[in-house]
């Protein structure tokens, strides 16, 4: 029996469907809770090319729900995308896994998603989801929205020109503070697995051309209160994105400083700010600051703040929530 024999026996997939999966290319944006489950499922299903994009590194609190990671990855200071690539290549040597350690923004999303057959949303950030929505319309690539918080989750499959887009559901980003955040209410790993598994199944349907089986509306699930709903979604004739092709998020300048949900951390991302790692290490060590480094980033602690500096100039500052102070500290210790 072959690797995919049980999947091929399923009539809706069969040998032709499996062949289509092997020829498919997907990008998973975000490699945390949803992203690790999605990537694991699609790799085991035989999707031929999986691109994983994530800006973050692994921490102990991730292990409760991010299934591709373990304590050894934390000891090795691995970025999430790299650790996921290592694990997926052990799971399936017949596929290509392309890991990218980047912050997805308006400057790079079209390059990241170009030539893909499908975009999978595994982020925890509404700004990036609206950006994915714009990129999907621009490139005419379907995408699958997914979100989880507490015991609840939602998912919706969006096919340009065929289904309502994200801005038909939520025309604008909700005001700051009006939506629960993951650092306040937490999340159960069970809802993560359910929503990501639905996203993975929707992905397989799209990749093998079974669009008639796709969920046409918003699926909402609350595993604690036993609530399973399908919420009807209608096109909005005045939708700025899919009806009027105003791709506002693609045209916005990306934020260079943002607070990261659930991490008590701030990301500073000065665009196109290439660094000289050797000179930074030399300068910091000359002042008595201990610097650790690997193939992916530098780490050091100053003023009670832990810096993780990636070699493209992007940094994550831990134990801080003040974005202005974070930018000042970045300028002080790294420079613009």
Mean pLDDT, all residues of the chain: 93
Q: What is the pLDDT of residue 183?
A: 63
Given a cut of 60, whether residue 176 has pLDDT beyond it is no
Given a cut of 80, whether residue 263 has pLDDT beyond it is no
Q: Could you give the dihedral angle defined by the CA atoms of residues 197, 203, 204 and 209, in that order, rounded to the nearest 10 degrees? A: 150
What percent of the chain clears pLDDT 90, i.e. is strictly above it?
81
Catalytic residue numbers?
Answer: 182
Q: What is the pLDDT of residue 261?
A: 66
What percent of the chain clears pLDDT 70, i.e. is strictly above it?
95
Euclidean distance between CA atoms 223 and 194, whole angstroms: 9
String of b and e for 201-225 (b: at least 16 CB within 10 Å)? bbbbbbbbeeeeebbbbbbbbebee
Cβ-contact 289, 273 below 8 angstroms: no
| Mean pLDDT confidence for 297-321 | 94
Q: What is the pLDDT of residue 180?
A: 63
Q: What is the pLDDT of residue 307?
A: 96
Which phi and psi angles does 240 have, rounded to 5°?
A: -65, -25
Torsion 183-104-299-77 (CA) sign:
positive
208 or 261, higher pLDDT = 208
Non-local CB neighbours of 43 within 8 Å, separated by 6+ positions: 50, 88, 91, 92, 95, 97
Euclidean distance between CA atoms 110 and 112, whole angstroms: 5
Q: How confident is the model at residue 197 (pLDDT cuts 50, 70, 90)?
A: very high
Q: What is the pLDDT of residue 56?
A: 93
Q: How confident is the model at residue 125 (pLDDT cuts 50, 70, 90)?
A: confident
Cβ-contact 41, 4 below 8 angstroms: no
Given a cut of 70, whether residue 92 has pLDDT beyond it is yes
Given a cut of 90, whether residue 140 has pLDDT beyond it is yes
Q: Which two tokens stand for residue 52?
A: 């994983």
Euclidean distance between CA atoms 235 and 278, whole angstroms: 53
Q: What is the pLDDT of residues 18-76, one digit of tens each?
A: 999 999 999 999 999 999 999 999 999 999 999 999 999 999 999 999 999 999 999 99
- Residue ranges per domain, the chain? 5-231, 257-333
Q: What is the pLDDT of residues 79-88, one digit of tens each?
A: 999 999 999 9
| Mean pLDDT confidence for 256-282 | 82
- Residue 140, Ramachandran bin (φ over 0: left; ψ between -120 and 50: alpha; else beta): left
Q: How confident is the model at residue 272 (pLDDT cuts 50, 70, 90)?
A: low
H-assigned helices in the chain: 5-9, 14-22, 33-45, 71-75, 80-91, 109-113, 126-139, 166-169, 182-185, 189-207, 277-286, 323-333
Q: What is the pLDDT of residue 119?
A: 98
Q: Which fold has domain 5-231?
A: Rossmann fold (3.40.50)
- Tell me the HSE value of 178 on the side-chain side, using a 13 A CA sphere: 6
Say if domain 257-333 classifies as CATH 3.30.310. Answer: yes
Q: Which two tokens stand for residue 27?
A: 């990008």
Give the number of other Cβ atoms within 10 Å of residue 191's Cβ: 21
Instruction: Let me know if 192 is exposed, middle or buried by CB neighbors in 10 A (0-12, 13-18, 19+).
Output: buried
Euclidean distance between CA atoms 220 and 64, whole angstroms: 22
């Amino acid at each position: 029996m072959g690797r995919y024999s049980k999947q091929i026996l399923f009539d809706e997939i069969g040998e032709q469907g499996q062949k289509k999966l092997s020829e498919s290319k997907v990008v998973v944006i975000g490699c945390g809770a949803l992203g690790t489950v999605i990537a694991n499922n699609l790799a085991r299903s035989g999707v031929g090319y999986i691109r994983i994009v994530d800006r973050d590194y692994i921490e102990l609190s991730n292990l409760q729900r991010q299934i591709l990671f373990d304590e050894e990855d934390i000891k090795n200071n691995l970025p999430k995308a790299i650790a996921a690539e290592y694990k997926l290549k052990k799971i399936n040597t017949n596929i290509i896994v392309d890991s990218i350690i980047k912050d997805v923004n308006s400057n790079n999303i079209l390059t990241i998603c170009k030539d893909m057959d499908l975009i999978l949303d595994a982020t925890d950030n509404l700004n990036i989801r609206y950006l994915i929505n714009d990129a999907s319309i621009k490139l005419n690539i379907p995408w699958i929205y997914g979100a989880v918080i507490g015991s609840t989750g939602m998912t919706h499959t969006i096919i340009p020109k065929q289904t309502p887009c994200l801005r038909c559901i939520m025309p604008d980003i909700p005001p700051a503070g009006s939506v629960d955040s993951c650092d306040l209410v937490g999340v159960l790993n069970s809802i993560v697995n359910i929503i990501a598994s639905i996203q993975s199944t929707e992905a397989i349907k799209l990749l093998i051309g079974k669009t008639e089986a796709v969920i046409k509306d918003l699926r909402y699930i609350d595993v604690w209160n036993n609530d399973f709903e399908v919420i009807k979604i209608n096109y909005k004739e005045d939708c700025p994105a899919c009806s009027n092709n105003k791709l506002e998020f693609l045209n916005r300048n990306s934020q260079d400083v943002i607070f990261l949900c659930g991490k008590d951390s701030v990301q500073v991302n000065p665009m196109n700010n290439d660094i000289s790692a050797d000179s930074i290490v030399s300068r910091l060590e000359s002042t008595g600051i201990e610097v650790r480094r690997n193939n992916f980033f530098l780490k050091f602690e100053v003023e009670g703040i832990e810096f993780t500096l990636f070699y493209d100039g992007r940094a994550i500052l831990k134990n801080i929530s003040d974005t202005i102070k974070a930018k000042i500290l970045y300028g002080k210790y790294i420079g613009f």
